[in-house]
Amino acid sequence: MVARFSTLGIGVALARILGPHEFGAFAVAMVALLALLSFNELGVSLAIVRWEGEPSEIAPTVATISVISSIIIYAGCFLGAPAFASAMGAPSAANVIRVLAINVIFDGLVSTPVALMQRYFRQDRKMIADQANNWIGTGTSIGLALLHFGAMSLAIGRLAGAAVAAVLFIAFSPEPLRFGFDPVKAKELFRFGMPLAGASIVVFAVQNADQIVVGHVLGATALGFYALAFNLSSWPLTVFSMPIRTVAPALFSRLQHDRPAMHKTFLGCLELVETITLPICMLISGAAVPLVSFVYGSKWAMAVQALAWLGGLAAIRILFEFIYDFFVVLARSRVVFTVQVVWLIILVPGLIAGSKAYGIGGAAMAEVAVGLFVLLPWYMAELGKVGIERRLLLGRMWLPLLAATMVGLAAHAIAGVISQAFVACTVSGVLALVVVGLLGYRLRSVIVALRATLRGATTAERGDGESELPQRTQGRPPWELEPAQEPAPAQGVVPG
Give residue-wise pLDDT tens across range 351-382: 999 999 999 999 999 999 999 999 999 999 99
pLDDT band, very low/low/confident/very high, at 43 (cuts 50, 70, 90): confident
Q: Which residues have CB under 8 Å from 311's CB, separation 6+?
A: 233, 281, 282, 283, 284, 285, 286, 288, 408
Please compute the mean of the pLDDT values over residues 115-136 and round it to a whole number.
Answer: 86
For the cut 90, the answer to whether the pLDDT of residue 467 exceeds it is no
H/E/C letters for each residue in the chain?
CHHHHHHHHHHHHHHHHCCHHHHHHHHHHHHHHHHHHCCCCCCCCHHHHHCCCCHHHCHHHHHHHHHHHHHHHHHHHHHHHHHHHHHCCCHHHHHHHHHHCCHHHHHHHHHHHHHHHHHCCCHHHHHHHHHHHHHHHHHHHHHHHHCCCCHHHHHHHHHHHHHHHHHHHHHHCCCCCCCCCCHHHHHHHHHHHHHHHHHHHHHHHHHHHHHHHHHHHHCHHHHHHHHHHHHHHCHHHHHHHHHHHCCHHHHHHHCCCCHHHHHHHHHHHHHHHHHHHHHHHHHHHHCHHHHHHHHCCHHHHHHHHHHHHHHHHHHHHHHHHHHHHHHHHCCCHHHHHHHHHHHHHHHHHHHHHHHHHHHHHHHHHHHHHHHHHHHHHHHHHHHHHCCCCHHHHHHHHHHHHHHHHHHHHHHHHHHHHCCCHHHHHHHHHHHHHHHHHHHHHCCHHHHHHHHHHHHHHHHHHHCCCCCCCCHHHCCCCHHHCCCCCCCCCCCCCCCC
The 10 Å CB-count burial string (b at 16+, else e) for 137-158 is: bbebbbebbeeebbbbbbbbbb
Q: Is the dihedral of CA 399, 401, 406, 410 positive or negative?
A: positive
Which of 72-76, 196-200, 369-373 has the weakest average pLDDT?
Answer: 196-200
pTM of the model: 0.74
pLDDT tens per residue, range 209-249? 999 999 999 988 899 899 889 988 988 887 877 777 777 77
What's the chain's average pLDDT? 84
Please compute the mean of the pLDDT values over residues 308-323 and round it to a whole number.
Answer: 90
Measured distance CA(84)–CA(159) in Å, rounded: 20
φ, ψ of residue 495 to 5 degrees: the values are -45, 125
> How much is the pLDDT for 6?
57
pLDDT band, very low/low/confident/very high, at 493 (cuts 50, 70, 90): very low
> How much is the pLDDT for 89?
81
> How much is the pLDDT for 465?
41
pLDDT band, very low/low/confident/very high, at 293 (cuts 50, 70, 90): very high
Measured distance CA(246)–CA(268) in Å, rounded: 16
Classify residue 5 as exposed, middle or buried by CB count within 10 Å of its CB (0-12, 13-18, 19+).
exposed
pLDDT band, very low/low/confident/very high, at 7 (cuts 50, 70, 90): low
- List the end-to-end C-alpha distance of the chain, in Å, as a whole number: 12
213 vs 256 pLDDT, higher one: 213
pLDDT band, very low/low/confident/very high, at 263 (cuts 50, 70, 90): confident
